[in-house]
Amino acid sequence: MDKSKKQVPVKPQSAASKTVRSEEQPVKTSNVGEFAFGKENYRLMLIGLAFIAVGFLLMIGGGSSDPSKFNPAIFDFRRITLAPILILAGYVIEVFAIMKKPKD
């Protein structure tokens, strides 16, 4: 047996100390049947999804029916600048909607 390790006797806990500990701990209620998000979170999620959908819809089009002709409409402000900004704003709104604590 290794002499450097000393055995420490373990004291048994009395019944009184166990009840004191259980009384000190706050009672946790279970959230059975409650949603993870509140009404405002879902509303913000729908707004974010609408921003994303509108952004992708604004990118549609600009093609040419004749493949040999170039259509400069694919490089207009709506497709190059506005649509990506709306999509990024939608994603920011989605992250905010998920991270926001619901009011109880």
* Residue at 49 is within a domain: yes
Distance separating the N- and C-terminal Cα atoms of the chain = 59
* Residue at 4 is within a domain: no
* Residue at 89 is within a domain: yes
Q: What is the mean pLDDT of residues 61-73?
A: 82
Contact 36, 99 (CB under 8 A): no
* Residue at 80 is within a domain: yes
pTM of the model: 0.65
* Residue at 64 is within a domain: yes
Asked whether residue 18 carries a pLDDT value surpassing 80, the answer given is: no
Q: Look up the domain containing 78 and give its range.
A: 34-99
61 vs 11 pLDDT, higher one:
61
Q: d(Cα 9, Cα 74) in Å, to the nearest integer?
A: 81
* Residue at 62 is within a domain: yes
* Residue at 45 is within a domain: yes
Domain count, the chain: 1
